[in-house]
Amino acid sequence: MITSNIIKVFIPASAAFAVGIAFAPLLTHYLYKYRVWKKVVAKTALDGTPAVEFINLRTTAHSGTETSTPRMGGILIWASVLFVTIGIWGIARATPFLFFDKLDFLSRSQTWIPLLTLVAGGVMGFMNDLLDIRPSGERGIALRVRLLFVTLVALFIGFWFYVKLGVATIAVPGIGAFAVGAGIIPLFIIVSLCLYAGGVIDGIDGLSGGIFASAYMAYAGIAYFQNQINLAAFCATIAGAILAFLWFNIPPARFWMTETGTMGLTMTLAVVAFLTDTSGDGYGIVALPIIAFPLMVTVASNVIQVASKKFRGKKVFRIAPLHHHFEAIGWPSYKITMRYWIISIICAIVGMTVALLK
């Protein structure tokens, strides 16, 4: 049984990596053919003012990559996951081979919701990216509309957790199950919005890929040890697809993840965290701020910057979020990426330990 479970987790993950590697040249061809990049270097700060420091950074340190590197690389991730998940499911039903039945990890209780969330976020992000590359330099879908989308999707999923799956508690180490009742719905919405806000981590070549891969590998391990094998296989499949993306995103990046990747990945991470909590007899929610610490720091740096400018009239960081601050003070981008990766791996290990406490 242990061997078959390991195979069920590792083969789809390897397949997603292989599919991503195979699909990347085709995706790259069309992204470059149709010049899927920003035509104008433009950025607005969170308080609505022009992000002068960011624009200067992009036109000096990055020497024009903002207007020559394709966006929408995140398609590679969710498309590979969807292809592998549906592909294995279809083969299992179209052939008499029991091997594929054992590999099939698409299930109503564990993977339907996270898969649909990944694809929904990916498609919405794709629409934003499509508008973001207009020659006029205008931004994509308004932030308030994207936040509303995340809120509505999270409302539906939170309702599903509470009504359909009976999730009404969160687990806290040393305390046990803590009843929140219908409060699980607004809690899930808040967590989803916070994680989505952390999606701006996608700002340096290779940065977001390493962070998301670490987080999903951690939850794959958590789900596996909770005997949620289908969910573990799903998380591992996402990690495999992210690694394929990362193969082409390390400096110099062939393409960037952008919203079509970050929106789906952040929203799905919230779903996975809640599925590995009391429903999996673990501490998936409490472990989330640890596992997703780089994302949380990113959100916190933005909040601190906006609050400081509003109430103190001056900035705390040269540029927010934090990883751009390090760029602005002279850190090479590869050093920032590598150090964030190291921190992400450590956080993943610590988070897994916390989530599996008994």
Count of structural domains, the chain: 1
Confidence of residue 292 (pLDDT cuts 50, 70, 90): very high
Residues near 255 by beta carbon (within 8 Å), at least 6 away in sequence? 27, 28, 31, 69, 70, 71, 72, 73, 76, 248, 249
Confidence band (pLDDT; 50, 70, 90) for 40?
Answer: confident
Mean pLDDT of 264-289: 95
Instruction: Read off the tokens for 38.
Output: 């920003």
Which single residue is written with the structure tokens 């629409």?
Answer: 127
Binned at pLDDT 50, 70 and 90, residue 157 comes out as very high
| Predicted confidence band of residue 175 (pLDDT cuts 50, 70, 90) | confident
What is the pLDDT at residue 97? Answer: 85
Cα–Cα distance for residue pair 108/114, rounded to 1 Å = 10
Q: Report the half-sphere exposure of 224 (CA within 13 A, side-chain side).
A: 22
Contact (Cβ atoms closer than 8 angstroms) between residue 225 and residue 356:
yes
- Helices vs. strands in the chain: H and E counts, helices first: 14, 2
- Nearest CA to 116 out of 156, 73, 147 is that of 156
Q: Omega before 12 cis (within 30°)?
A: no
Does the pLDDT at position 291 exceed 70?
yes
- The parent domain of residue 148 ranges over 2-355
CA–CA distance, 8 with 68 (Å, rounded to integer): 40
pLDDT tens per residue, range 298-315: 999 999 999 999 999 899
pLDDT at 48 over 60: no
**pLDDT at residue 147, as a whole number:** 97
pLDDT of residue 174: 84
Query: Which pLDDT does position 170 carry in this prediction?
Result: 94
φ/ψ bin of 259: left (φ > 0), alpha (ψ from -120 to 50), beta (otherwise) = alpha
**β-pair partners for 50:** 44
Does 68 or 354 have the greater pLDDT score?
354
Query: 88 near 105, Cβ under 8 Å?
Result: yes
Give the single-character DSSP code of 164: I
Contact 239, 219 (CB under 8 A): no
- Predicted confidence at residue 137, as pLDDT, reads 65
Note the pLDDT tens digit of each residue in 73-103: 999 999 999 999 999 999 999 998 888 999 9
